[in-house]
Each structure stands twice: as structure tokens, then as C-alpha cells.
């Protein structure tokens, strides 16, 4: 049953792939604007690269959150999902997993190409991908709570960003911290371990909070 | 056995109904009637466990439905007034996904046969987006043919259906009650069934 939720959401993402692609293009363009704006100052660019890529990743995953529950809510399929004979926790986890597969993973895989614009070394590019692969699922998990809470509200999109962006701060700090440490040659294990810890924590608690928020939103 | 005792519903600061009682044994059909805004949909959503009753309780096999949790959903099929179809998917895909989510695998061929029965032969491969309102309703109703749930909760199922489809749904419900299933329907239509074969609940 869990498999069906993931398959369903991946099929839907494939059928509306323009939405998925526009999120990725957003990420690509935002990150590319900085080298163009600042000019060929390699040292400065290398310095701001971790922050820029990570902030752009944060904003891009915010954009994809709107799709998570809103469409299902409008056509009534969310009600049907709530009435399936399995814990709502798993339904939420399945939907978040599918969202991450179509937004977080391609975003992380695309980041080395963008990193080259900032003059990052091969080793740092690798750390960037690893940090994004660890961090983007957290963004999707935390974001799902906000998406569920703002379901069906007018102007929910803006409210969602106000709710969710502050919660993204730890991920931003540890994620860009790891890349930073790799540039300056300091130990990056601390940041990556903390990022992993945040991932485990949000895997346990976020779907549970999202389920509760969904039940309230659907009353 | 589905029982409701002194149910009350409050939406916002408005009291929609109070003291609603019914007991439905195997093979019974309950038609919920009432003017617009009288709380028919709210009552049906309460029976599904989507909405918590303001007062009273609903019991399934003598246990409160909120204590049953997911177990209750295995015995429940709900069709709301939104069809619960994905516009992007074809009727076949919609049906197979809906069936997979309740834990039964449905092959492509089986789905085609079921959709033929609800009068969608030749339309199975079109996205639900371009189907007519009635055809979408029929696709939603096809779920009833594949589910084995003993309790059906149907909200305004007869709207936007033509007369032959209305007869089809009526026969489907009759067949379900004959097999010992329980059906709760909210509708303004008069059923083409003997008056003593079903109960009515008026939310005035």
C-alpha cells in the first residue's frame, strides 16, 4: 500500500512534469544570478557559494511544497487517502518520499554543475551533493507540516513560507556549514553528523505532526 | 452493525443538528434527507470518522469508530461529493490506484471490465480531465464494484447521473443490501425501491 502512494505521486509528477521542472529551473537561475551579478571575483564567489546554493535550495523546496497536498485536497483524493486502511503516518511518509525524489534528488544532483560557476573544487562539490542529499529530505519533511497546516487557506502560500522558513534555519546552518568547512579545510564531520541527526529526528516526528495537521485541516 | 446515539453537529457557531439516533443492522439502507445546509454531508463525514461529532458517538460492531482507527477503514467505502479522482490520470489508472491503496491489486484487464460495467467502455484511456461530469461520477462509482467493504457511505451520488445510471446505482445498492451490506446515502432523489425496504432520516 505504501508502494502505491509513492507510485501514484511519482506518476502524477510525471504527468505534470512542467511543475517539477520549473522548480528546478528556479533553483538553477537563482544560483546562477550571483556569479553574474558579482563578476569574476573567484575568492568572494567561493566564500559565498555554500550559503547561496543552500538558500536557493531552501526557496526551491518551498515552491514545491504547494503541490504536496493542495491538489489532492481540492479533488477529494486526500479524503480517500485518509480513509485507507493504513496509518496516516505512512501515507504522509510516502507522499514526502515521492516529493523528495522529484525535487530534492534532482536538485542535489544538479548542484555540482552550479558549484563550478563558483570555482569550487571537486572535493567540495562532493560535500555539497552529500549535504544536499541529507538536508533536502528534512526540508520536505518539515515543509509537509506547514503544507498540511495551511491547507485550504486563502493566501496559504505566503503563510506557508513564514511558517516554514524559520524552521529551515538549522538545516541551512549545518548544510552550508559542512560545505564551508570543506572549503576552508576544516573538519566537516560535525556538521554532516548533525544534519543526519536532524534527518532522523524529523523522520520520526514530522510525519506524525503532519498527520495531526491534516486531520484538523480536513474537518 | 452501525449505531449512532444522540449525535450533534456544530459548524462554526451554528448548531446544525442535535440528537440524531439510528441503528443499522446488516442489509439496511438509510437515506439521509434535508434541505441544503442541514448537515447531510457533515453527518456522512462523521460516519466516516473525518469529522468528530460535537456530542454523541458512532459505534461500529459495538466499538467507537475513533477507537477502531484504521481497522474501521477496511470496512468502509466513502464517495464524497467531490469525486476523488485525479484529473491527470485515466479512469483505469484512477481505479487501479484507488484499489491498490485499499490493499487489493487490480490488473489492467480487471479494471477495464469493471469500467465497462459502469458504462465507460471506450473511455478508459482518456484522462479524467476531459470526461464529462457524469462520466467522472461513474468512474468514482466503479470503486464500489471492486471494494469488499460492508459499509457504504455515499454523498449525493445520484447528482449529474442520467436515468440509466441512476437505475444502475439503485440496483447496485439493492444488491449490496441483499448481501448484508449497510448503505448510508444522502440524496434528494426518491429511490425506486419499496418504501418499507429502507429507513429515512430527516435533518430538518
* pLDDT tens per residue across span B85-97: 999 999 999 999 9
Q: What is the model's pLDDT at position B34? A: 86
Cβ(B185)–Cβ(B173) under 8 Å?
Answer: yes
Supply the range of the domain harboring residue A125. 2-217
B5 pairs with which residues across the strands?
Answer: B57
CA angle A53, A141, A153 (to 5 degrees): 100
Ramachandran class of B97: left when φ > 0, alpha when ψ lies in -120 to 50, beta otherwise: alpha
Q: Residues of chain A with pLDDT > 90: what percent?
A: 69
Residue B101: enclosing H or E segment and its boundaries?
helix B91-101
User: Is residue B135 in a domain?
Assistant: yes
Q: What is the model's pLDDT at position B84? A: 87
Higher-confidence residue of B178 and A156: namely B178
User: Is residue B80 in a domain?
Assistant: no
Cβ distance A83 to B86 less than 8 Å, yes or no, reads no
pLDDT per position as a tens digit, A150-180: 998 887 888 999 999 999 999 999 999 999 8
Average pLDDT, chain B: 88
Which of B11, B84, B90 to mutate to test binding with chain A, by most A CBs within 10 Å of its CB?
Answer: B84
Our CA-based measurement puts residue B195 at a distance from the nearest CA of chain A, in whole angstroms, of 32
Chain B residues with CB under 8 Å of a chain A CB are: 48-52, 70-71, 73-74, 76, 78, 80-89, 93, 97-98, 100-103
Q: What is the model's pLDDT at position A175? A: 93
| Weakly modelled stretches of chain A, pLDDT under 50 | none
Cβ distance A11 to B78 less than 8 Å, yes or no, reads no
Name which of A75, A84, A85 is nearest B85 (Cβ-Cβ): A75
Supply the range of the domain harboring residue B105. 88-148
Q: What is the model's pLDDT at position A142? A: 96
Distance CA B47, CA B60 (A): 9
Q: Which residue of A has its CA nearest to B81?
A: A76
- Give this prediction's pTM: 0.91
Using a CB cutoff of 8 Å and minimum separation of 24, what contacts does B48-53 make? Answer: B48/A79, B48/A83, B48/B76, B48/B78, B48/B153, B49/A83, B49/B73, B50/A79, B50/A82, B50/A83, B50/A218, B50/A219, B51/A219, B51/B9, B52/A219, B53/B7, B53/B8, B53/B9
Q: Which residue of A has its CA nearest to B95?
A: A8
Q: What is the model's pLDDT at position B163? A: 87
B138 and B174 fall within a common domain:
no
User: Is residue B83 in a domain?
Assistant: no
Name which of A4, A74, A218 is nearest B97 (Cβ-Cβ): A4
Q: What sign results for the dihedral spanned by CA atoms A79, A82, A85, A90?
A: positive
Distance CA B63, CA B57 (A): 10
B189 and B130 fall within a common domain:
no
Q: What is the model's pLDDT at position A103? A: 92
User: Is residue B18 in a domain?
Assistant: yes
B111 and B62 fall within a common domain:
no
Name which of A8, A15, A218 is nearest B97 (Cβ-Cβ): A8
CATH of the domain at B21: 3.40.50.300
User: Is residue B82 in a domain?
Assistant: no
Cβ distance B84 to A82 less than 8 Å, yes or no, reads no
B68 and B155 fall within a common domain:
yes
Cβ distance B83 to A81 less than 8 Å, yes or no, reads no
B118 and B157 fall within a common domain:
no
Say if strands B199-202 and B55-60 run parallel, antiparallel, or are unpaired.
unpaired
Residues on chain B touching A7 (C-beta within 8 angstroms): 97, 100
Q: What is the model's pLDDT at position A156? A: 80
Q: What is the model's pLDDT at position B83? A: 86
Q: Of the residues B115, B132, B148, which one is the last residue of a structural domain?
A: B148
B204 and B141 fall within a common domain:
no
pLDDT band at residue B203, thresholds of 50, 70 and 90? confident
- What's the average model confidence in pLDDT over B110-134? 88
Name which of A4, A75, A84 is nearest B86 (Cβ-Cβ): A75
B192 and B138 fall within a common domain:
no
pLDDT band at residue B161, thresholds of 50, 70 and 90? confident
pLDDT at B204 over 80: no
Number of domains in chain B: 2
Cell 448548531 sits on residue = B15
Q: What is the model's pLDDT at position A202? A: 95
Number of domains in chain A: 1
Residues on chain B touching A86 (C-beta within 8 angstroms): 70, 103
B4 and B71 fall within a common domain:
yes
pLDDT at B80 over 90: no
Cβ distance B93 to A11 less than 8 Å, yes or no, reads yes
pLDDT at B194 over 80: no
The number of residues in chain B equals: 204
Residues on chain A touching B39 (C-beta within 8 angstroms): none
B143 and B189 fall within a common domain:
no
Amino acid at each position: 500500500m505504501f508502494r502505491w502512494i509513492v507510485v501514484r505521486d511519482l506518476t502524477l509528477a510525471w504527468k505534470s512534469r512542467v511543475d517539477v521542472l520549473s522548480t528546478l529551473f528556479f533553483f538553477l537561475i537563482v544560483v546562477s544570478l550571483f556569479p553574474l551579478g558579482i563578476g569574476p571575483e573567484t575568492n568572494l564567489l567561493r566564500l559565498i557559494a555554500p550559503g547561496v546554493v543552500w538558500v536557493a535550495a531552501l526557496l526551491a523546496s518551498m515552491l514545491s511544497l504547494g503541490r504536496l497536498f493542495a491538489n489532492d485536497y481540492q479533488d477529494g483524493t486526500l479524503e480517500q487517502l485518509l480513509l485507507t486502511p493504513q496509518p496516516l503516518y505512512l501515507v504522509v511518509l510516502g507522499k514526502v518520499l515521492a516529493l523528495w525524489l522529484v525535487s530534492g534528488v534532482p536538485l542535489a544532483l544538479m548542484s555540482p554543475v552550479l558549484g563550478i560557476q563558483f570555482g569550487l573544487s571537486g572535493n567540495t562539490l562532493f560535500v555539497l551533493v552529500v549535504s544536499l542529499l541529507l538536508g533536502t529530505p528534512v526540508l520536505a519533511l518539515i515543509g509537509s507540516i506547514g503544507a498540511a497546516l495551511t491547507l485550504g487557506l486563502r493566501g496559504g502560500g505566503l503563510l506557508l513560507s513564514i511558517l516554514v522558513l524559520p524552521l529551515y534555519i538549522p538545516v541551512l546552518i549545518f548544510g552550508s556549514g559542512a560545505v564551508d568547512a570543506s572549503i576552508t579545510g576544516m573538519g566537516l564531520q560535525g556538521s554532516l553528523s548533525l544534519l543526519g541527526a536532524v534527518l532522523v529526528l524529523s523522520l520520526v516526528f514530522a510525519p506524525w505532526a503532519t498527520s495531526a495537521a491534516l486531520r484538523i485541516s480536513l474537518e | 452493525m452501525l449505531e449512532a446515539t444522540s449525535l450533534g453537529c456544530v459548524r462554526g457557531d451554528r448548531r446544525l443538528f442535535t440528537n440524531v439516533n439510528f441503528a443499522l443492522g446488516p442489509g439496511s439502507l438509510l437515506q439521509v434527507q434535508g434541505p441544503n445546509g442541514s448537515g447531510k454531508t457533515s453527518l456522512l463525514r462523521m460516519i466516516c470518522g473525518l469529522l468528530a461529532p460535537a456530542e454523541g458517538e458512532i459505534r461500529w460492531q459495538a466499538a467507537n469508530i475513533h477507537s477502531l482507527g484504521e481497522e474501521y477503514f477496511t470496512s468502509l467505502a466513502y464517495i464524497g461529493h467531490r469525486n476523488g479522482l485525479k484529473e491527470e490520470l485515466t479512469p483505469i489508472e484512477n481505479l487501479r490506484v484507488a484499489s491498490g491503496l485499499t490493499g487489493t491489486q487490480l490488473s489492467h484487464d480487471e479494471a477495464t471490465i469493471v469500467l465497462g460495467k459502469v458504462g465507460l467502455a471506450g473511455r478508459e484511456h482518456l484522462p479524467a480531465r476531459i470526461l464529462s461530469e457524469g462520466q467522472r461520477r461513474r468512474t468514482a462509482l466503479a470503486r464500489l464494484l471492486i471494494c469488499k467493504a460492508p459499509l457504504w457511505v455515499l454523498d449525493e451520488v445520484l447528482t449529474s447521473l442520467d436515468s440509466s445510471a441512476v437505475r444502475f446505482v439503485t440496483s447496485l445498492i439493492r444488491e449490496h443490501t441483499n448481501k448484508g451490506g449497510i448503505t448510508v446515502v444522502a440524496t434528494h432523489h426518491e429511490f425506486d425501491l419499496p418504501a418499507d425496504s429502507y429507513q429515512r432520516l430527516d435533518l430538518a
